[in-house]
Amino acid sequence: MIESIVIFFRRKRKLSGYATTINCFDGAVQAPARKYMKRRYNVKYVDPIVEPGIVKILIGESDDPDAGVILRQIRKKLKMSIIDHKSRKISIAAHHNCLGNPASKEVQENQLRKAKKVIEKMIAEYELDIEIVLLWIDEHHMPKEVPELLGNLSFKETLYKTAK
């Protein structure tokens, strides 16, 4: 019963517009990122910007001699998605068992946080209200949002310790 109500509401949802996903080229992680963005933001389409280990390229830690060219391509595609497709929601995704970036989840999560800053700088000139979400796609191909390390988290900790 509850399930059928959920399905009913899902079908009633009107999807429109575009979002963007910056993701690894790995075929296993395309659908998870696309579906996540469609569900999270009710968009109809998701522009994929993909390269093997793309996060490493974004943060300048790739040893690919073409990294500079790839970075310019990423910037170009991002502009098309934002300006032409009016995308206002961007995800940057990393995943388990990545060939292009064989680092641990913890390392990749920190790389994602750095990549977010790079993308923010890249799109700053458009002066648009754009939301960037970070995704970790696990071994079951399930995407999960990566929490930001907030500066005030340690501040809260300090308060807590002082109170004790």
Minimal distance in Å, beta carbon 98 to Zn ion? 3
Whichever of 18 and 56 has its CB closer to Zn ion, that residue is 56
Query: Which residue stretch of 18-26, 61-69, 108-116, 126-134 sits at the interface with Zn ion (rule: CB under 5 A)?
Result: 18-26
CA 55 vs. chain centroid, Å, equals: 10
State the Cα–Cα distance between residues 107 and 109, nearest whole angstrom: 5
Structure token pair of residue 71: 């970075």
Q: What is the 3-state secondary structure (H, E, C) of 44-101?
A: CEEEEEECCCHHHHHCCCCCCCCHHHHHHHHHHHHHHHHHHCCCCEEEEEEECCCCCC
Whichever of 19 and 53 has its CB closer to Zn ion, that residue is 53
Minimal distance in Å, beta carbon 140 to Zn ion? 15
Using an 8 Å Cβ cutoff, are 121 and 78 in contact?
no
Q: What binding mask, one character per residue, do residues 25-54 give for Zn ion by CB under 5 A, x or -? A: -x----------------------------
Using an 8 Å Cβ cutoff, are 32 and 141 in contact?
yes
Query: Which residue stretch of 24-32, 77-85, 129-137, 155-163 sits at the interface with Zn ion (rule: CB under 5 A)?
Result: 24-32
Minimal distance in Å, beta carbon 29 to Zn ion? 7
Minimal distance in Å, beta carbon 51 to Zn ion? 9
Residue 24 within binding range of Zn ion, rule CB under 5 A? yes
Among 74, 92, 93, 98, interactor with Zn ion by CB under 5 A: 98
- Token pair 């059928």 in the structure block, residue: 4
Contact residues for Zn ion, defined by CB under 5 A:
24, 26, 98, 100
